[in-house]
Amino acid sequence: MVTETSIEVHPLDPLSADELIRASSIASEHFGSPDSLRFLMVAALEPPKGSVNPPRSAEMVCIDTSSGLTTEVVVDLDTGRVTSVAERPDAQPPALFDEYDRAEAAIRSDEGWRSAMVGRGLNEVQIDLSFIHLWPTGNFGSEWETKHRILKGIVYLRDQPDDNAYGRPVEGLIAIVDLVDNRVLEVVDEPSPPPPTSSLRFDHDHSGPARDDLKQLDIVQSEGPSFNLQGHLLTWQKWQMRVSLHPREGLVLHQIGYEDGGQVRPICYRASLAEMVVPYGDASVGHYFKNAFDSGECGIGRLVNSLELGCDCLGEIAYMDGVVTDERGGARTIKNAICIHEEDAGLLWKHTYRHSDDRGMQSWSRRSRRLVVSTIATVDNYDYGFYWYFYQDGSWEHEVKATGIIQTMAIEDDDPQITRHRIAPQLAGMHHQHFLSFRLDMDVDGGPNTVYEVDTIPLPLGPKNPFYNTFTAQATPITEESQSGRVVDSTSARHWRIANDDRNNPIGESPAYVLTPGATVSMMADEKSLIAQRAAFARKQLWVTAYEPSERYPAGDYPAQSEPGQGMPSWTSANRPLRQADLVLWYTVGMNHIVRPEDWPVMPVQRAGFSMKPWGFFDRNPGLDVPQSDHCEHDHGHGSRNHAHQSSNGHA
C-alpha cells in the first residue's frame, strides 16, 4: 500500500483537522459559544482564480438548534478573524446527524405513532425493534413544509437488530417531525397492505453456500505504482491534478492538465459532483415525496466510506484521508476516503501489417493502462461509487456505480404494478431515476473557451451526394446562456466540443476537448411537477454558464424544502455571453431504474457516465510513446512470421 507524502499546504488543499477545529473555534467565539451552535459544513474557501498568496480561509454553514436559524460564516485563518456573516432565515440546510437521532427518538416516544403501530397488530417488542428511515420531505406547499424544519419517518419491521428491514415495510404510516421543537407534528396512517413476512437477509450466513471454483486473482506491481502523490498533488503518465474531499461534493479534482512538449497544458480547472437527485415515480402516500437531493440535502463528502484493500480497491493502492466536521466544532477523519490506483485497460492501439514479400505479418500494439481516483458514499439505502479514469492517450472519463438496497413497499397479491414491480412475495420496488450533475470548470489550453454542439448529419441528396452515402459533422456554437440547455441525441451522435478559439493547432484549428455522453435518460416527471421545477437542471443533459464563483450548486445552495426555480433557471436567465469566455459545463448523468427481481435483496452495480477526449488538442496520437509491454513478443522492428490463422492468448 502506498501512502501520501507530506508537503507544504497549497491554496486549493482542503482544511486539515487542526485548521477545521481552529476555524470552528473562531466562529464559535464570535457567536459567544452557545451550546446550541452546530457546524453542518466547514471547508476551505477556494481562492479566486489566479490569485497570488491568497489568505487561507474557511467557509462554514452553521445552525442554531434552538431556533433553526442558518448562518454562513467565513473565517480568515491567517488573522483569526471572522470576515463575513450572513444569516439565511429561509434556508434549510441538511439535517445534522444529531437531528436524525433526536427525530427517531421523538417518533418512538410519540403516543400517536405507537398507537398506530399497535393498531396494525404489532406488539411492544416489534415496535422497539422497528427501523425508522428518515427522509427529506421536499416542498409540496403544506404548512409543515413551508413553516417548519422537518423530516418524515417511514417504518420497517425487523425480527433481529441486523435484519434487512427493507424487506418488511409498514406501508402507509409516516411521522412528520419538527427538528427544532423535537416533536411529531403529524402521524399519517392510511389503510394499506400488511408487512411482508420475510426480511431476506443477504449477509454471508444467509446467502447460501459460496462458490468454490473461483481462483485467486492477484494484482502485483513489483516495482510499485507509476503515479506519484505529494500531498494532494497527483502526477501520472503526463497527467497532473490536485485531489481532495469536499464535505458536500465529495471527490474534487483541481487543475487537471497534461504534459505536452515539456509543458503542462491546462484542461479543466475544477471537476466535481455538484448535485444529485433521485425522483421516485410512485404516487402513494408513503412515497410521493421521495425526491432526495443526495448531495444538497445530505452531503456526499461527509457520507464517504473508509475504503478497504481487497474489498473496495484492488492492487497497489494509495489512500487519502478525508476530514469533515463532527458538527460540534471538532474534526472527524475518514480514513482511506479516497482510493488511487492503476489498472490494465485493455488495448491502447494496434496495427497488424501484411508484408508483400515472404516476411509474413508484422504487428505493433500497446496495452492501455488507466489511473483510477475514486470514492464510495453510502446515502441511506443506496451506495454510490464515483470513479475518475485517466488514460495514456489524453482522454478521461467519469463513471458512477450505483448499488445498495432499493426502496421497497408492501403490496397486495393482485397489485397492478404500474409504477412498481414485485421483487418478492407481497413486496415491490418503486420505479425511480438517478440524476447526477457534474460541474466541469473548463480551462482548455488555459482558456477562454467556446462550446460547440456537434451533430453528425447526412448531406442533401444531389450531385454532391450521388450515392446517397455522405455525411458531415455540423458544429454550432452555444453563444449565450438562454441556448445552453441541451439534450443528448443518439440519432446524430451528438457531442459537445470545448475549444480554445484563441489558439491554433498545427493544422490551423482550435485545440479542444470533446464531451461524449454515455448511457443516460430524460426525466420522466412532468415539467409541471414540483421535482422538475426544483431540480430543473435534470431536465436537460448539458448546461453552459459563464463562470461565477457563487454559482456552485445547480439546484441552489439549500435544496431541502426549497422553492422552485433556484439554481440553474435563475443563473441562465441572466443570458450572459458564452463565446470565448470563462465557462462552466454542467453535465447530467441520468440512470433509469425499472426495478427487477434481480435487484433484491441487494442490487448489482448499475453504471453510467461520460467521457472527455482530446480533439485537435494534440498534433498526433499522444499514446505513441507508451512503451511496449514486456510480455509482448512482436513489435521488435524486424517482423515476426505470424499468420492470419494463428491466435493470441491475450485479450484486449
Identify the three-state secondary structure at position 481.
helix
Alpha-carbon distance of 424 to 202, in angstroms, equals 14
Residue 538 in contact with residue 277, Cβ under 8 Å?
A: yes
Following CA atoms 400, 383, 188, 68 in sequence, which dihedral angle do they give, to the nearest 10 degrees? -90
Task: Using the structure block, give the residue that is written with the C-alpha cell 466536521.
Answer: 325
C-alpha cell at 534: 426544483
Element (H, E) at 183: strand 183-189
455 part of the active site: no
For residues 23 and 74, the answer to whether their CB atoms sit within 8 Å is no
Phi and psi torsions of 228, nearest 5°: -135, 130
- Is residue 39 classed exposed, middle or buried when 0-12, 13-18 and 19+ CB atoms within 10 A define those classes? buried
3-class DSSP string for 540-587: CCEEEEECCCCCCCCCCCCCCCCCCCCCHHHHHCCCCECCCECEEEEE
d(CA 479, CA 580): 9
Residue among 147, 183, 154 nearest 170 (CA): 154
Identify the H or E element spanning 135.
strand 131-135
Query: Is residue 100 flagged as an active site residue?
Result: no
Which ranges in 250-362 belong to alpha helices (H)? none
- What values do phi and psi take at 100, rounded to 5? -60, -45
Among 13, 189, 282, 294, the one annotated catalytic: 294
d(CA 474, CA 582): 24
First vs last C-alpha separation in the chain:
27
Task: Return the amino acid letter for 394.
Answer: G
Q: Among candidates 55, 54, 58, which has minimal Cα distance to 42?
A: 58
| d(C-alpha 131, C-alpha 477), whole Å | 53
Buried/exposed 349-364: b ≥16 CB within 10 Å, e otherwise: eeeeeeeeeeeebbbe
Q: How many residues does the chain have?
A: 652
Which has the closest alpha carbon to 247: 27, 553, 560? 553
Contact 503, 445 (CB under 8 A): yes
Among 269, 280, 382, 587, which one carries the catalytic annotation?
382
**Which are the catalytic amino acids?**
294, 382
